[in-house]
Structure 1
Amino acid sequence: MRKINWGARLFLLCLLLWASFLFIFSNIYPVADVVREISNQKIIENKSRFLSLQQIPGAFQLAIIETEDRRFYSHFGIDPIGIVRSFFVDVQGDQLREGGSTITQQLIRNTILGPEKTFTRKIKEVVLSVALDSFMSKQEILDLYLNIIYFGHGAYGAGQAAQVYFGKSLSALSLPEWSLLAGLPNEPYNLDPYSFMNRAKERQKEVLQHLVDAHYISQQEADAAYQQKLVLKHSKA
């Protein structure tokens, strides 16, 4: 009997592991269904209105992707480059930060896992993110993310954030307004425009530069948007 070479054995082992992975997260623990259920519960609890991607301006979607996870449509739930970079930073700093997290990982963290920062939780986050990317479309992942992520000042989801900060629907915001919002999920507490407008503006500058780099707006448009004074919903006269 001809011996199976090691390459073939390794291929069969990987195939078996992948089949087991798919079986577990589609039958034993249907990760996509769990994320949908928890997301819907959060939307109800936060008294926010669900917005489909068709109701969320494409420009705002682009700003979020370019700022939070520019390889969102090409990776498989995790960004290996970001993870490696984050790992070395964590080891050098002797603590676990959230660098390298994709939109998919953030969705997993905000539904299934919670905010605790441990290496064990990080491993679970990576596994679940790959699983979610396998069973849920990129469009649905982005849609759920934009509807439940925290924007600060009690605002969950992009639609609620537009109302809390500007008293408008998301689709009615101007470039200066929605570019400010797009930077908030990174650090919603420290970038809250009501408390830290200077920090929020600096983050807005980064968002606008990402849009320039993506050739969506010109540098002149970015500079003009950054310079425009913003009037928040509850600003003092």
Structure 2
Amino acid sequence: MAERRFQIVYILPNLFTASSIFSGVLSIVASLHGEFAKAAWLIFLSLLFDGLDGRIARLTHTSSRFGAEFDSLADIVAFGVAPGILLYCFVGEGYGRFGILVTALYIIFGAIRLARFNVMSPGADPTVFIGVPIPTAAIFVSIWVLMFERYTSLHRMEWALLVSVLLLSILMVSHIRYPSFKKISLEKPMVTKTLVLLIGIASSLYLFPVEGFALLISLYVSWGVLRAAYMLFLRGRGGARRE
């Protein structure tokens, strides 16, 4: 009886991983039928399942190598193929080979990003990500599709969405550092200020969910690039002074 109970608990996190894949497949089907808003929200649902499977595995002490590999394969479907198909059906199809190329590079570089993460994860710094994580990239694609769906005036800028995703794909395999927010230590004076800030952000997202998430994810992606450019600038100035 105890062994049977253990097996059921062991399966539970993998069911959430399977649910993430299923949501990704539903998103692909919705994209193929032109239901772009539905496809985008299904990718967010995949993200929810993806976040739950790891946490449940840790809470129930059922983490395993199989679960880690299954989760990684699920990510390429839910956050690689599904957003890629959404992007292509929404805008890429109208740009011929360029649209196909951007879609393909997004999925390929996403797979490379996952493979690199799996190789580096045992000794990686838990406070940072090296390159844009593929779930973040999936959110970027999904939320901006929702923005284009909501504001028809943006349709004249569809080419900018393709270019942005192309740059995003390159950022996934870059060595630019991004904060992971997994481990945040705050000094006591900062706790109240941080709480107030988070309440303010949550309130804004409640009023303007799509616009708020689009702004936050765009700032996050841009922050890594700006920080890397600033660090290069400082190094350049340091080298110039030594000369």
Normalising by structure 2, we get a TM-score of 0.32
Normalising by structure 1, we get a TM-score of 0.32
